[in-house]
Chains A and B, each alone.
Chain A
Amino acid sequence: MITITIDGKKISFERPVTILDAARAAGIHIPTLCHHDILKPYGGCRLCLVEVEKVPKLQTACSQYVSDGMVVRTETEKVVDARRAVLEFLLINHPLDCPHCDKAGECELQDLAAKYGPAMGRFAEGKRRYPENLEDPLIVRNRERCILCLRCVRMCDDVQGASALSVTGRGSKSYIEPFSGGAYDCEYCGNCLAVCPVGAITSRTHRHGFRPWLMEKEVETVCSYCGVGCSLVLQVRNNSVVRSVPRSGLGLNRGLLCSKGRFGYDCLNYGDRLDAPLMRRNGVLERVTWTEAINCIADRMKEIKRENGSDAIAGIVSGRCTNEDAYVFQKFFRGAIGTNNIDSVAGMAYGPAQRFFEKILVQGVTANPIQGISDSDGIFVIGGDPTAINPVLGLQVRSASKKGVPVIVVGHPGGLKRYSKRAFIMNSAAETVFLAALVDEIKRRRPLPGERPVLEEIINGFRPAPLEDASKMSGFGPNDLVDTAHALSNMSRPSIIIGRDIVQTDTGHMNLLFLAALTYLLNGRIYLLSELPNEQGVLDMGCQPDMLPSGRPLTVETFRKRCEETLGIIIPPAPGLSYAEMTEAAHEGRIKALYVMGEDMVLGLPDSNYVRGALRNIEFLVVQDRFFTETAKYADVVLPALSWAEKEGSYTNLERRIQLTRKAVEGESIEEWKVISEISKTFGLHMGYRSAADIFSEIARVSQIYRELTLEGIADGKSVWPYRGGPLRYDMHTEGTKLPDIVSVMEESGMSGVHVRREAHLFHSQNASRYSPALLSITPEPHLKIGDILADRLSVKDGDRVKVSTDAGSIVLSARRDPCLPDNVVLASTFDGGGIFEITKWRVNPITKAPASDVNGVVIDKEEAITVLHKDRADSLVGG
């Protein structure tokens, strides 16, 4: 026990804390500037100097730790003089241009000057002057205002791990600059500007358009970009979101955000929002009233149901829908239409992966706290770059790596490049063989735990590829493989991080089995990367062709019956079609009516031309969305939707944490669930909900897992799996799981040509970012990442236009040489009008039902014509 006296107050601590923390605990305020709770002590500004008895010099409270018997004084004459001196030094070169400065009103220096106001005016030497730097589209640097606290640099280095910023120059000529010079070449997390205490780094998205004291309200909610579910605060003025900020201590992101959470809120204010229903009349979409639209939907659906049966109708929800909207959607389809043809984007990879792991390991096996990643003793990443897909989760991997935890990546390491011990990039068939060989090597080094006989039988029985063949296919030496297996075998509780591209490939089902085996052998914790904010939620709500809103299979009669009784509806006993199957059925004319809520199928599904064909074949297409999407172009009725900031609801993140999303602004539309209930009414199914909370309480009644939960109750963000109830136990049949024949994989898919794989992009992976001018301004055009050898062979330089073609189509991209890539793999991302899905051939894995996101045998040619996509949208961003 350490007892200290601070300004006469005695206070004790179990462990040494800084004098600053001790003072705070004692309710004593010590002014600080370079200190920030997220960052390590720096001791640079010298504002927090205090007197410590028996120590001749003043000590910095932020960096000095207490020791037993220490006597600290924070308000002596000496301390007050020092404070005044330091503040004077800080201000002599400060422009004090508060009226022009976006930070005014929330500037720490302004507050300090107001509070401790030093005698001004004896500095007569002329302040340092520098022009503001406006070279970057999103971040403005003002060197005059900088007090060199280095919070930004420390944030970028130590927390974000991007190391994009540094101090340049020395002494009074020091200044902050990104290594790239003018514009930033970084991850644009904006965490640097969030910690800048003054107006030296500010966001351009609300430049000169925002005064903190004019803000009308602040709403705590959850980010709607990815499955991490970061907490953020939306600041509102005139019914419009003017800024989104994290708050330290709030949520699992603890004060951090990524580029999407920070800058992507501007899609809320994007000009082309849909604001009225549209209906196709004589081939043209025209504005109609809600009543007209709803009546039309009811009539046409009833007609199709009558003529073609319920199963000619299907529904797709987006992973961006709230739990409440998703729940009501599936209830409408099951109870009113009478079909189980319901699925979501989560049905492509996240869902099948989770289902497989739960089946073979245990239910809830993917529900692991994100914070746990940095405490694991090893990390295995496959199928996607966590720092791009789930950026704030990715920070955990970096932080583990900094502590010396080995990180092994199969696939492009992306943002983990400097943080991974090894990265193995190859084509997808080789990946499967590589994984199989790893499992085999690990099996020889680690005894089987003896807990899951079925799985052990599979592991024991499988015939791996000979090491030499695995090595030949992957392009890595047998020793690389053996060493990696060895490194993995030494981990006792690793995190296994799995992205969706390992599922969305021809051998996806095998990959899942090998990953389950790996997890089992290594006692790993699985993290499924989730590219949308509510993939987990829409699965849990029953937006799956074979699952009830309870995580239970509808084919089991007792479960189905219980659900029917609780809800007073009849649920068809046979499973419906999956997302990919629906698309195929639409193509073949078996699906006549499709209701798509929030999903842009043309951009979201591989093989855009195939999808366009399917949509064209649909007799009656309803699209409910915020924007007039590519899919909406084919619709017969388009309904405007609300954004997540315009309604109440909940999201379930990839940890299976249920979090509240709050309404921040009034939207120009009606909640999706309300619209669906109206349609449902015409089918005789009255839902009668008055609020999202009503829906949530029904969900809690329907599913054992949510027993006793309420929408208000989850507001603390602490509702994590397995919630109030325990995990459900029931027999998940594993007989169907066949032993993959790895040798035949090798024989069949040699994959000799160039293979294109999807790169989940940090700035524009999913469709919402298309409506964010801020995010588009960072990368206004799509890229092809190409290895040096291949680029040299094709004489392709950085920035050259290249045409990438397959039999499915072709796209023109700007080349980016990437020294990590081998000569048989190139990367492209999904992108409006030039994404990889324009050229991927429609292939659906028969077991996982996942459509493949990669394609082999592409042809790359240099292109002469220059086209820049989206330049107009990027330019519409607030000017300088």
Chain B
Amino acid sequence: MNSRESVLLKNADRPGPAGIDEYGEWGGYRSLHKALSMEPGQVLDEVKKSGLRGRGGAGFPTGMKWSFAVADPQTQKYLLCNADEGEPGTFKDRIIIEKNPHLLIEGMVISAYAVGAASGYIYLRGEYPKAKDILLRAIKEAYEKNYLGDSILGKGVVFHLHIHCGAGAYICGEETALIESLEGKRGQPRIKPPFPVNEGFSSKPTVVNNVETLANIPYILEIGGDEYAKIGSPECPGLKLFSVSGHVKRPGVYELPMGVTLREIIYTHCGGIRGDRKLKGVIPGGVSTPVLLPDTIDCPMDFFHLGKVGSMLGSGAVIVFDETVDMVKVCLRITKFFEHESCGKCTPCREGVSWLRAVLERMSNGSGRGGDKDLLTEVSNNIAGKTFCPLGENAAAAVQSFVNNFGDEFKEKIKSG
């Protein structure tokens, strides 16, 4: 474990959520007091200075996103918290909500103040019923203490917070699909532009941020943006939660500075590979990010460096495979996920991914045909760069990375068939 006291994972190791009083004892809502004593623009500046990038997957600079919404002349604005957490391998937002819900609420109130939003929604993954109860209780507490409502802390600041539960579609984690779903429509991504910061929920300027992104805000206010920017990688600094699963000795969620290497995560923090077997491959950021070979695990984990080795930080969900794993099966499992979750809006993803799955299925059944490996490459190339949203793109990239990195295993499936 690192020496720093946990910020995002505070209370994570204790049973049950922290109540508002407990949260207060730790200095909770002090950042909100501080923020409300500043101008919204000053709060925004601190976030800009912090270098914080979105933790939902795309890594967009949070301060910049906010400033777009601030710049929009419409007065009615919304703040949406993306708590859909659908990316396989990811279970970090849940910990924040279930263990320390007021951290998220405080982060949202401060953010709403900075962007000028008077109401907000938490779009919660449908499979998190416990998190819903916890959040509902916490929101009630926050209203009672005047941290939410029509005049927060008696300063005339308005912010109302609601919860909306998803219905199990991964695509609804994509911000525009999330907005459609929140509006009661079928969850499908929208054409961009207009971007949500100008035309989002109810066609009003809307900021969508991930749970973890928002949970960082109170800390940034507490220590100041400049100080925060000193944590971890200079290119994209800050604290990051890593959900580690797979064949490590100690899977779990880790709060580490950005830029920590995969090697450190796997071997130092998680105690190495289960049974001390050999590492075969690792997915660094959830199944939407390309798989890496063991020779790249010294790469720092951040949005910038992972790109250089052909993958992405995504949601920071590290999935570790030891030498016993059948990578064709893994690839099939991932492709099945994308096939199942494809919303069906665009042709390449809808048709292409299910084609990929069919080919992978016969390969892993042992009835692969000659040319199937090339077919996988061609079909995934035909999907790549042509889909409406990143889901289809990521599905293609995942298959490409498996075929490229574990080509021999794929070839074997044909031989054996």
A129 to chain B, nearest CB (A): 14
**Within 8 Å of chain A (Cβ to Cβ): is B129?**
no
Contact between A46 and B348, CB atoms less than 8 A apart: yes
What 0/1 pattern do residues 100 to 141 of A give for CB contact below 8 A with B? 000000000000000000000011110000000000000000
Q: A80-88, A206-214, A621-629: which one contacts chain B?
A: A80-88
**Within 8 Å of chain A (Cβ to Cβ): is B28?**
no
Contact between A46 and B186, CB atoms less than 8 A apart: no
Given A125-B358, A147-B347, A89 contacting B352 (CB threshold 8 A): yes
Residue from the list A44, A89, A92, A125 in contact with B388, Cβ < 8 A: A44
B417 to chain A, nearest CB (A): 14
Chain A: CB-nearest residue to B361: A125
Residue from the set B352, B353, B387 with the largest chain A CB neighbour count within 10 Å:
B352
Q: B94-102, B282-290, B335-343: which one contacts chain A?
A: B335-343
Contact between A45 and B347, CB atoms less than 8 A apart: yes
What 0/1 pattern do residues 28 to 56 of A give for CB contact below 8 A with B? 00000000000001111111010000000
> How many residues belonging to A are interface residues under a CB distance threshold of 8 Å?
34
Tell me the bound Cα distance from A49 to B169 in angstroms. Answer: 27
Contact between B382 and A44, CB atoms less than 8 A apart: no
B156 to chain A, nearest CB (A): 29
**Within 8 Å of chain A (Cβ to Cβ): is B345?**
yes
**Within 8 Å of chain B (Cβ to Cβ): is A63?**
yes
Given A46-B348, A122-B375, A82 contacting B342 (CB threshold 8 A): no
Tell me the bound Cα distance from A341 to B339 in angstroms. Answer: 74
> How many residues belonging to B are interface residues under a CB distance threshold of 8 Å?
30
**Within 8 Å of chain B (Cβ to Cβ): is A789?**
no
Contact between B354 and A44, CB atoms less than 8 A apart: no
Contact between A44 and B345, CB atoms less than 8 A apart: yes
Contact between B386 and A58, CB atoms less than 8 A apart: yes
B357-374 contacts to A, CB under 8 A, are 358-359, 369
Contact between B350 and A148, CB atoms less than 8 A apart: yes
Residue from the list B169, B186, B344, B386 in contact with A172, Cβ < 8 A: B344
Tell me the bound Cα distance from A319 to B346 in angstroms. Answer: 49
Contact between B347 and A170, CB atoms less than 8 A apart: no
Given A92-B351, A123-B355, A45 contacting B346 (CB threshold 8 A): yes
Tell me the bound Cα distance from A869 to B360 in angstroms. Answer: 58
Contact between A166 and B186, CB atoms less than 8 A apart: yes
Contact between B358 and A89, CB atoms less than 8 A apart: no
Tell me the bound Cα distance from A46 to B349 in angstroms. Answer: 10
Instruction: Determine the chain B residues whose CB is within 8 A of the CB of A166 once the complex forms.
Output: 186
**Within 8 Å of chain A (Cβ to Cβ): is B191?**
yes
Chain B: CB-nearest residue to A166: B186
Chain B: CB-nearest residue to A126: B358
Given A85-B348, A85-B382, A171-B340, A42 contacting B355 (CB threshold 8 A): no
Contact between B186 and A43, CB atoms less than 8 A apart: no
Contact between A172 and B351, CB atoms less than 8 A apart: yes
Residue from the list A45, A57, A147, A174 in contact with B385, Cβ < 8 A: A57
Tell me the bound Cα distance from A41 to B352 in angstroms. Answer: 23
Contact between A170 and B341, CB atoms less than 8 A apart: yes
A473 to chain B, nearest CB (A): 38
A362-411 contacts to B, CB under 8 A, are none
Contact between A89 and B351, CB atoms less than 8 A apart: yes
A112 to chain B, nearest CB (A): 12
**Within 8 Å of chain B (Cβ to Cβ): is A93?**
yes
Contact between A82 and B386, CB atoms less than 8 A apart: yes
Given A122-B375, A166-B186, A90 contacting B385 (CB threshold 8 A): no
Given A63-B191, A86-B348, A46 contacting B340 (CB threshold 8 A): no
Instruction: Determine the chain A residues whose CB is within 8 A of the CB of B388 once the complex forms.
Output: 43-44, 46
Given A44-B347, A46-B386, A58-B386, A171 contacting B339 (CB threshold 8 A): yes
Tell me the bound Cα distance from A466 to B64 in angstroms. Answer: 60
**Within 8 Å of chain B (Cβ to Cβ): is A169?**
yes
Contact between A172 and B347, CB atoms less than 8 A apart: no
Given A57-B385, A92-B355, A167-B186, A46 contacting B346 (CB threshold 8 A): yes
> Which residues of B come within 8 Å of A, CB atoms?
169, 186, 191, 339-355, 358-359, 369, 375, 382-383, 385-388
The 3 closest A-B pairs by CB, nearest first: A171-B342, A85-B382, A174-B344
Q: List 7 A-B contacts (CB under 8 A).
A: A58-B385, A89-B382, A93-B351, A123-B355, A171-B353, A172-B339, A172-B354
New contact pairs (10) apart from A86-B348, A122-B375, A170-B340, CB-CB < 8 Å: A41-B191, A43-B388, A44-B388, A90-B351, A167-B186, A170-B341, A170-B343, A171-B341, A172-B350, A172-B354
